[in-house]
Amino acid sequence: MIHGIGIDIVDVKRIEQAVRRWGGRFVERVFTPEEIEYCLGRVNPYDSYAARFAAKEAFIKALDPGVPVFLREIGVVRAASGRPGIRLYGNAEEYFATALRNGRIHLSLSHDRGCSIASVVIEAD
């Protein structure tokens, strides 16, 4: 059964401007250390930051926008196959485990022409 669906699109320039303006304060407040390492290893880190930001927003929409979750508690990870996924931390992990016990999170990311988009589907038993 589908618990929720979320989608978000982000202008890559908006994320780039935030990173340039606020630097580490912005990045460390929004992204996990693993995400930061991944993005900094890319040719264009801003595309990757924007895709991850969109994934976090899409996840919140799919979960329930009324649930208090910090962006840094939602991490985008990659399986060995390269497939993106979401790993939860802190309050987000506790809420998800309690409310959706055996729930599964499906994530799709893409970027093109200065925009990054993410789609999240949360399944519940």
Reported pTM: 0.94
Q: Which residue do the tokens 């991490």 mark? A: 75
- What lies within 8 Å, CB to CB, of 91 at 6+ separation is 68, 69, 70, 73
Q: What percent of the chain has pLDDT over 90?
A: 84
Per-residue pLDDT band at 51 (split at 50, 70, 90): very high
Catalytic: 13? no
Q: Which CATH class is domain 2-123?
A: alpha beta
Clarify whether 111 is annotated catalytic: yes
Which of the four pLDDT bands, split at 50, 70 and 90, describes residue 66?
confident
Report which residue type is found at 16: E
Identity (one letter) of the amino acid at 8? D
Give the closest residue to 31 by CA, choosing from 17, 45, 13: 45
Catalytic residue among 3, 56, 61, 106: 61
| The pLDDT of residue 10 is above 90 | yes
What are the sequence ranges of the domains in the chain? 2-123
